Amino acid sequence: MCGILAILGYHEAHLQRSKVLDLSRRLRHRGPDWSGLYHHQNFYLAHERLAIVDPASGDQPLYNEDKSIVVAVNGEVYNHEALKASMEHNYNTQSDCEVIAHLYEDFGEDMVQKLDGMFSFVLLDTRDNSFIAARDPIGITPLYFGWGSDGSVWFASEMKALVDDCERFETFPPGHLYSSKAGGLRRWYNPPWFSESIPSMPYNPLALREAFEKAVVKRLMTDVPFGVLLSGGLDSSLVASVASRHLASTKAGRQWGPQLHTFCVGLKGSPDLKAAKEVADYLGTIHHEFYFTIQEGLDALRDVIYHIETYDVTTIRASTPMFLMSRKIKALGVKMVLSGEGSDEIFGGYLYFHKAPNKEEFHRETCRKIKSLYLYDCLRANKATSAWGVEARVPFLDKEFVDIAMSIDPSEKMIRPGERIEKWIMRRAFDDEEKPYLPKHILYRQKEQFSDGVGYGWIDSLKAFATKQVTVDRMMANAMFVYPHNTPQTKEAYYYRMLFERVFPQESARLSVPGGPSVACSTAAAVAWDEAWSKNLDPSGRAATGVHADAYESSEAHPQTSTVEEISKEQLKLCPQVVVAS
């Protein structure tokens, strides 16, 4: 992942080149390999590069032949070779992103429809000083935009580059394009599922499998070492299995070897570590285990909130282990990983989907979840890895794969107790007796949320630690007055909010974070599926009681039914010494 910053139409007396460099430096963790800055009249485009494709010559910003069109891009264009072959242009680099400048030259603003990838970009046409900015369909790559008091328009990969100079800023919505000519935003991505109408296409397991394999293989486009984040659950295991199966036939496999690297993180003895090791052994990958301690996780919270730019409880819980793991991955010299985000949203994989009342509400909830991914799991996966200069690619959010999966009759996705567990249609699609992708018990392993799977003590310890930080009862009693927007409902949420406000005190910053009731990662609308949920609004998967087969075998082993006060002393005694293995 790279970092981009664009300042467009500023008042010349108010902005020096050194100031732009200072702001761009705030994004350098995303792109530590090179820095580029383009200046034209009262327009700046800055770029911090993470070199994945064409490390030698692909520095940005990038241009068309006569340099009248300039573009700064964060992301990957997987179909760049086919696009280049379809146009007659001279290319200055082998970068996948250079094609965007030439596409604009030939097709104008509509060219964004031709891109297959994950991307956020800002393009300046110096012929008339017009500009556009666009973001990929689901919002895999982050983008924010804001407005200066001098009338300037700003864009940045992270809001930390905007907070000091913009009067107001917002999250740039996925699947949208901003046009200076039109004077605003328009949605360019309009798939059939976006309207939430109920699809009826029959389930074809082979078509689903082929679409996913294609999505994984195209993401093996890289000129640097890479691997797969492997938790041992269905989603990451399928990514690893498909990547491992096809790696030898790809350019990346020929360049870096046919044996896949996999990575897992967890507390000692966590469910994910055990399951991931079993999958890695089965696939024959070079597997790396990283252990973190509860204390190390607690110590990282301030940095996590600064990098992820959120105070959402679920996101912070899951981001912390991923943040720590990404640092270890980068230390191994790896710059790109594949990850399994998106499957639970597409297929109703979260445990609360067991309570979906009918196929119509099941489907609408999956649509709502996909639409909000950019605020949660995409935000986490991108920023937790980018904090250390690692790029995360997500095959489940491939545009073609999403369109196919969301066209299937949702009755096929619904859970049927005793017959079908969550994500059954993906499990069935990869249940190949002749050439198994995974062992049966892994293929049909039940869902673990990442923050639970890294170790059940993690969440309990977070709650206990927060209780020690938010010690005065009137802090919670007056929370609605201190934080009227998205008022914290628990001491854990209150503590995260305090940390967030210290680094991002702006009103625009707090408004960028989603809120509302949730149970086991549900949207607010799905809380109504079970009357009891409104009394137990815990975003952890443990809140969906009665549907998990193995996670909570005894209250003695997992004291989540105790009060935070009861567990706090015992949990904080359990912080082991530092252990790292690979």
Q: Which residue has the tokens 């970068």?
A: 95
Q: Of 428, 446, 463, which residue sits at a domain end?
A: 463
Say whether both 176 and 301 belong to one domain: no
Q: Of 144, 162, 190, which residue sits at a domain end?
A: 190
In a domain, 400, yes or no: yes
Say whether both 304 and 174 belong to one domain: no
List helix spans (H) across 265-376. 271-283, 294-299, 301-308, 313-331, 343-347, 359-371
Respond yes or no: is residue 2 known to be catalytic: yes
Helix or strand (DSSP H, E) at 407? none
Say whether both 291 and 322 belong to one domain: yes
CATH number at residue 426: 3.40.50.620
- Report yes or no: 310 and 500 within 8 Å, Cβ to Cβ: yes
Identify which of 462, 452, 467 has the alpha carbon closest to the alpha carbon of residue 544: 452
Say whether both 7 and 119 belong to one domain: yes
Query: Identity (one letter) of the amino acid at 110?
Result: D
- Number of separate domains in the chain: 2
In a domain, 562, yes or no: no
What's the pLDDT score for residue 549?
56
Q: 377 among the known binding-site residues?
A: no
Say whether both 161 and 221 belong to one domain: no
Catalytic residue among 2, 367, 378, 521: 2
Say whether both 246 and 150 belong to one domain: no
- Report yes or no: 99 and 77 within 8 Å, Cβ to Cβ: yes
- Predicted confidence pLDDT, tens digits, the chain (582 residues): 799 999 999 987 778 999 999 999 999 999 999 999 999 999 999 999 999 998 988 899 999 999 999 999 999 999 999 999 999 999 999 999 999 999 999 999 999 999 999 999 999 999 999 999 999 999 999 999 999 999 999 999 999 999 999 999 999 999 999 999 999 999 999 999 999 999 999 999 999 999 999 999 999 999 999 999 999 999 999 999 999 999 999 999 999 999 999 999 999 989 889 999 999 999 999 999 999 999 999 999 999 999 999 999 999 999 999 999 999 999 999 999 999 999 999 999 998 999 999 999 999 999 999 999 999 999 999 999 999 999 999 999 999 999 999 999 999 999 998 899 999 999 999 999 999 999 998 999 876 655 566 767 899 999 999 999 998 889 999 999 999 999 999 999 999 999 999 999 999 999 999 998 888 889 999 999 988 887 777 766 666 666 655 543 433 344 333 332 332 333 333 333 323 333
CATH number at residue 27: 3.60.20.10
Say whether both 104 and 49 belong to one domain: yes
Domain that holds residue 239: 202-463
> Residue 196 — left, alpha, or beta (φ > 0 → left; ψ -120 to 50 → alpha)?
left
Q: 303 among the known binding-site residues?
A: no
Q: 340 among the known binding-site residues?
A: yes
